[in-house]
Amino acid sequence: MDQRVRVRFAPSPTGHLHIGGARTALFNYLFARHHGGDFIVRIEDTDQKRNVEGGEAKILDSLRWLGLEWDEGVDVGGPHGPYRCMDRLAIYREHAERLLAEGKAYYCYCTEEELAAEREALKARGEMPRYLGKCRNLTPEQRAAYEREGRKPSIRFRVPEGREYVVEDLVRGTVRFETSGVGGDFVILRPDGIPTYNFAVTIDDHLMGITHVIRGEEHLSNTPRQLMIYEAFGWEPPRFAHLSLILNPNRQKMSKRDESIIQFIEQYRTLGYLPEALVNFLVLLGWAPEGEYAEQEFFSLDELVRLFSLERVSKAPAVFDPERLRWMNNHYLRQRPAEEVAKLAHPHLAAAGRLPEVLSDDQWRWLVDLVTLFQEQMGCAADIVPLSELFFREDVVYNEEAKAVLAESHVPTVLAAFRREAEALTDWNAGAVKNALKAVQKATGHKGKQLFMPIRVAVTGQTHGPDLAQTLFLLGRERVVSRLIRALDALATG
């Protein structure tokens, strides 16, 4: 590459960073870093109706959390600013006027209602909805008349007729578009002076020296319009790479209101997913490493920077598999010190009313032990809540399987023996509890499953669970003994 690579991520500040946006940002970031180029973040805020207060800050925050630092852009500045469309209005106006002067654009006085009616009529006749070019050749008199009516014009780009525009897409290959299929002359500047996406994006990309446009597939059909604009200005267009969509587990496009899946990075963050897990998961959505790395599942950001290339990006849509994300996050969670995971888990336990917001030293140590107990089973930090339920509940509920275990004849003997041992312990700690279990084995002659299951079930109500001695220790002597007594009573009364 004879030119320094410059790519950008250009979200609109409509709220939180979406999974799809995060992947696009990640691919841009990796591409830039791989080639030693620049990664720019620009805010596409030209739809004022959809802009959300604070949306920009949230998106930037999520990007940083993922570890995707940018070299230039909003809030870090740079030589090609401003990096927010709404701060660039004069630039768009100036460029639109240049097209106007050259006859490559014209004023259009149609109202939105009129245009909508036109589209409807076309659709009703089974034709492609498009702009028919009503204002394409207005005489000065006609224009004056519209002006007198008080109509404010938009500016439309004059689409060349009978042309073909070819996108040499880096992931999709050669894609051709007939000019007749793009929907007619399109608006570049609205009556209020705010540009439309297609206009703003090409001017910004050009002025910011963007060399590669890596974005979602939904923009593929916008590309010919942008190509026309590059052509009209005599600019060389960048290379394009359109990433396939991310589908939900039902193989449908993820819409923002899709309830079947958690879609925003911020939500994963609060649930206790780790950024490296998200990055690792996201990059595999439509990209696969080459050769010997094809079998590898886990990649660090640095490794990804080294391995990433657009040639390895798939055209096929990627399916978002939440189970896989959990599995991946579990992998990274297990590598973290328990203290860190405990910090992530604490807010969830507090929110569930199980622990205070502020912990004493003892409570903190207890929490760390609790997390250690469940760490290898956690898909995310929030999982601690359901996993640790039995530690916070007074009543133990026995399911059928549990009842079957308790019904065995040797159970009362084991429970009673363990109760005696538990009550006699001078110091209640994990090691002591373990010894107590050994003592019960010696006293009753029951061992293994025969020994552990009755106690586990009586105390936790479950036939599955983490290490018993540790569980009993964390439960605390009082709770253990009272549950043993209750189980014993229940068995006695039958």
Partner RNA sequence: GGCCCGUUGGCGAAGUGGUUAACGCACCAGAUUUUCAAUCUGGCAUGCAGGGGUUCGAAUCCCCUACGGGUCACCA
Cβ 110 to RNA shortest distance, Å:
5
- Residue 148 or 464 having the CB closest to RNA: 464
- Residue 325 or 344 having the CB closest to RNA: 325
Q: Is 82 in the site for RNA (CB under 7 A)?
A: no
58, 219, 239, 354: which one binds RNA (CB under 7 A): 219
CB 189 within 8 A of CB 154: yes
Q: Is 111 in the site for RNA (CB under 7 A)?
A: yes
The C-alpha atoms of residue 490 and residue 206 are separated, in whole angstroms, by 78
Measured in whole angstroms, the distance separating CA 289 from the mean position of its chain's CA atoms is: 21
Q: Is 23 in the site for RNA (CB under 7 A)?
A: no
39, 92, 107, 197: which one binds RNA (CB under 7 A): 197
- Residue 81 or 183 having the CB closest to RNA: 183
Q: Which stretch binds RNA (CB under 7 A): 72-80, 93-101, 286-294, 485-493?
A: 286-294
Q: Is 119 in the site for RNA (CB under 7 A)?
A: yes
The C-alpha atoms of residue 367 and residue 491 are separated, in whole angstroms, by 33
Q: Which residues are catalytic?
A: 256
55, 272, 286, 461: which one binds RNA (CB under 7 A): 286
Q: Is 468 in the site for RNA (CB under 7 A)?
A: yes
Cβ 425 to RNA shortest distance, Å:
15
Q: Is 428 in the site for RNA (CB under 7 A)?
A: no
Q: Is 324 in the site for RNA (CB under 7 A)?
A: yes
The C-alpha atoms of residue 449 and residue 46 are separated, in whole angstroms, by 66
Cβ 251 to RNA shortest distance, Å:
5
Report the site for RNA in 367-426 (rule: CB under 7 A).
Answer: 376-377
Q: Is 52 in the site for RNA (CB under 7 A)?
A: no
User: Exposed, middle or buried by CB within 10 Å (0-12, 13-18, 19+), for 387?
Assistant: buried
Measured in whole angstroms, the distance separating CA 407 from the mean position of its chain's CA atoms is: 48
Report the site for RNA in 430-459 (rule: CB under 7 A).
Answer: 434, 437-438, 441, 447-449, 451-453, 456
Element of type H or E holding 431: helix 430-444
Q: Is 60 in the site for RNA (CB under 7 A)?
A: no
Q: What residues contact residue 363 under an 8 Å CB cut-off, 6+ apart? A: 355, 356
Cβ 360 to RNA shortest distance, Å:
28
252, 260, 363, 429: which one binds RNA (CB under 7 A): 252
Q: Is 467 in the site for RNA (CB under 7 A)?
A: yes
3-state secondary structure of 112: helix
Long-range contacts, stretch 63-69, CB < 8 angstroms, 24+ apart: 63/9, 63/17, 63/22, 63/25, 65/265, 65/269, 65/275, 66/22, 66/25, 66/26, 66/265, 66/275, 66/278, 66/279, 67/275, 67/276, 67/279, 67/301, 68/25, 68/26, 68/29, 68/39, 69/39
Total interface residues for RNA by CB under 7 A: 89
- Residue 291 or 494 having the CB closest to RNA: 291
Report the site for RNA in 153-192 (rule: CB under 7 A).
Answer: 154, 172-173, 175-178, 181, 183, 186-187, 190-191
Q: Is 130 in the site for RNA (CB under 7 A)?
A: yes
The C-alpha atoms of residue 268 and residue 270 are separated, in whole angstroms, by 5
Q: Is 463 in the site for RNA (CB under 7 A)?
A: yes
CA distances from 308 to 36, 49, 393 (A): 12, 37, 49
CB 271 within 8 A of CB 380: yes
Cβ 128 to RNA shortest distance, Å:
4
CB 215 within 8 A of CB 243: yes
Q: Is 264 in the site for RNA (CB under 7 A)?
A: no
- Residue 247 or 350 having the CB closest to RNA: 247
